[in-house]
Every structure is written in C-alpha cells, then in structure tokens.
Amino acid sequence: MQQTLTPARVMRALAPLAWIGPAVALIGVVVVWPVVVMIQSSFLRISRFGVVQGANGADNYTKLFAEPDFGGVMARSLVWVVAVVTITVLISLGLAQLFDQRFPGRRLARWALIAPWAASVLMTAIIFKWMLDPEVGLINMVLRDLGLLDALGGAGADPLGNAATAMPWLIFVAVFVSVPFTTYALLAGLSAIPADVYEAAKIDGASRFRTYWSVTLPLLRPALVVATLINVMNVFNSFPIIWAMTHGQPGYSTATSTIFMYILKGSDIGESAAMSVVNFGMVIVLTVIFLKVSKWKTEVS
C-alpha cells in the first residue's frame, strides 16, 4: 500500500536514528570501513611507506600462497587454536566443578582466579618471558634445583630460543590467560542448573561420575559451546603472547597467521592485506557458526 510521505511520518521513521545513529556511525567507521579498506588494499600494490602504486590484481595473493612459510604458518595456527582451546576447556571444566563446591574462603579463591583475565595479556606474557630468562629466570632456577637442568645460561635454559620447546610454552601461557574466563562462564552455567535434577539423580542411585556425565554435562552444554566459541575467536586473533615472548622466532617457527600478517606489514602492505583477508574469511566462518549457535533470533524478537 502506498503511503503518503507527510513530514510527521518522515520524522517518526527517522526518530530511531537520533538514538542509534551514533552507534551505527561508530561501528561503520571503526569496524566496517577497515574491512573494506583491507579488501581493497589486498588488490593494490602499496609501498612499504604506504604509498599506493597502482592495481596489482591477484598478485598479492599469488605471492602470499607462494611464500615458503605460508603452509607452515597456517598449519601452526590450526594447531595453536585447537591445542589452546581444548586444553583450556578441559582444565576449566575441572576448575569450575571445584570452585562450585562450598568451602570457606571460596569468594577470595575465586577472586584470585580473576587476575590473568583482568591483567593485560601482554603483561602476563612479559612476566613469563622474564621467568624463562636463560640466566636468572625463576622457572629455570626451579628446574635446576630439581636436577632437571644442568646449569643456567646455556641453550638448555633457553626454552623460548628453541622451536621445539618454545611452542609448548606459548600454548601454556595462552591456556593460563584463557582459563579464568572459561571457568567463570562454566561456573555461571553450573549455577543455572536447578538443584532438584541432582536430587532426582541421587534418588535414582546414580554414581557421582554417572551424574556428571548424564546430568551436569548435557545441561552445561550451552555455556560450554559459547565459552568454547569465544575462546576460539580470542585464541585465533591472539597476538601479544607470541609477539612479546618470541616475535614468531626462531625463523617463523612460532609464527601464527596473525603474527605472519604483522611481519608482512613491515615489508609488503598489499601482501599483508591479503593475509588479513584470508584470516578474516576464517573469522567470518567462525562468526556464522557463533550466530547459528547463539540463536539470536529468539533473543532479539
């Protein structure tokens, strides 16, 4: 049906803009437009200093895929995300169960768990780098005093300088900073489970393990799914831990796709943009999964 455009009607249709307009504008400038610029840049030839030298077709992508380290970087990103998220979720399931029990001082103990979540990830990474210092690192000192390390200062005391030992330490730090949020999300999920389902399980004579497996875990599933997805996004985009502790070295042996993208930015912005687009494609896939799981439809309407 054709409606006449009276000024009053136009005003009413525009009223929401006054309230949500600033938010839309901010998202547009800061979140949406960079994506457009990034995709554009991936098809341009850009000098190291940011001067656009013309169109480049798909050359940036061809160059990126031909990088000898590209395959290794992508494989490592996958291992990084899967390892960090899996270990984080498993540890957090245990910790949530523990911190859900009643015991004196629970509030304080839970607060202590917050520290790595609240603190800057960069700061935490710097502290771990310091504790792994080959000469005066606390962790190396403990290993020496336990007889696991011959002497300080040698190559054996420099786990971050060695590709085989650096990656496990990076994963450890990433798990360390991811566990608090995950545990808290699971604790929230646990507290939403009504007590009477446990009563029912008890009356049925279910063992403790059986109760956890058949009652707790299924009811915890929504919290578990969300916590896992948020972790996947965070870990996938993680940058400060690796950057502060190894810079992706030795060689590119500890570089994930975000680190590789940042290193490329120093030499070829177009190629770096191509890497970002590849990265971003994966983020989109993850977001779609998240939206599917989060059931925003029932929520918003």
Partner 1 sequence: MTLTQSAPAARPKAVRPPAPARRLPSARTALVAGSAYLIAFVFLFPYLVMILTALRPQEELREATYLPQTFAWSNFANFWTGGLAQNLGVTLQVAAGSTLLVLLVALPAAYYTARHEFRGRTAFMVLVLITQMFQPTAMLVGIYREFYQFGLVDSVWSLILVNSGFNLAFAVWILHAYFSSIPRELEEAAFIDGNGRFGALFRVTLPLAMPGVVTALIFTFIAAWNEFVVALTLTTTPANQPLTVALNSFIGQYQVDWQNLFAGSVIATIPVIILFALIERKVVGGLTAGSIK
Interface with partner 1 in residues 241-270 (CB under 8 A) = 243-244, 258, 261-262, 265, 269
Residue 87 touches partner 1, criterion: CB under 8 A: no
Nearer to partner 1, 80 or 181 (CB): 181
Residue 5 touches partner 1, criterion: CB under 8 A: no
Site pattern 178..217 for partner 1 (x: CB under 8 A):
-xxx--xx-xxx-xx-------------------------
Site size toward partner 1, by CB under 8 A = 107
Q: Rounded to the nearest whole angstrom, what is the least distance from the CB of residue 144 to partner 1 in the complex?
A: 8
Among 61, 89, 84, 83, smallest CA distance to 281 is for: 61
Residue 34 touches partner 1, criterion: CB under 8 A: yes
Task: Identify which range of 73-81, 96-104, 162-170, 200-208 contacts partner 1 by CB under 8 A.
Answer: 96-104
Residue 149 touches partner 1, criterion: CB under 8 A: no
Q: Rounded to the nearest whole angstrom, what is the least distance from the CB of residue 71 to partner 1 in the complex?
A: 21
Pick from 9, 10, 29, 58 the residue near partner 1 by CB under 8 A.
29
Residue 54 touches partner 1, criterion: CB under 8 A: no
* Helix 121-131 and helix 163-191, axial crossing angle in degrees, nearest 10: 130
Pick from 9, 57, 135, 204 the residue near partner 1 by CB under 8 A.
135
Q: Rounded to the nearest whole angstrom, what is the least distance from the CB of residue 227 to partner 1 in the complex?
A: 7
Residue 152 touches partner 1, criterion: CB under 8 A: yes
Pick from 83, 163, 206, 230 the residue near partner 1 by CB under 8 A.
230
Residue 159 touches partner 1, criterion: CB under 8 A: no
The amino acid at 201: A
Pick from 5, 8, 11, 108 the residue near partner 1 by CB under 8 A.
108
**What is the dihedral sign for C-alpha 71, 77, 79, 82?**
negative
Query: What's the CA gap between 211 and 187, in Å, rounded?
Result: 17
- The DSSP element (H or E) to which 197 belongs, if any, is helix 195-203
Mapped onto helix, strand or coil, the DSSP state of residue 252 is: coil
Structure tokens given for 149: 């390390």
Pick from 1, 5, 11, 30 the residue near partner 1 by CB under 8 A.
30
Pick from 131, 143, 163, 206 the residue near partner 1 by CB under 8 A.
131
Give burial (CB, 10 Å; 0-12/13-18/19+) of 12: exposed
Nearby residues of 223 by Cβ (< 8 Å), 6 or more positions away: 185, 186, 188, 189, 190, 192
Pick from 75, 82, 115, 148 the residue near partner 1 by CB under 8 A.
115
**CA torsion, ordered 118, 123, 129, 131, to nearest 10 deg:** -70
Query: What's the CA gap between 197 and 273, in Å, rounded?
Result: 52
The amino acid at 235: V
Nearer to partner 1, 106 or 210 (CB): 106
Q: Tokens 């965070």: give the residue.
A: 234
The amino acid at 251: G
Pick from 84, 89, 93, 227 the residue near partner 1 by CB under 8 A.
227
Q: Rounded to the nearest whole angstrom, what is the least distance from the CB of residue 276 to partner 1 in the complex?
A: 5
Which parts of the chain are beta strand (E)? Answer: 44-46, 52-55
Pick from 143, 198, 240, 253 the residue near partner 1 by CB under 8 A.
240
Peptide bond into 16 cis (omega under 30): no
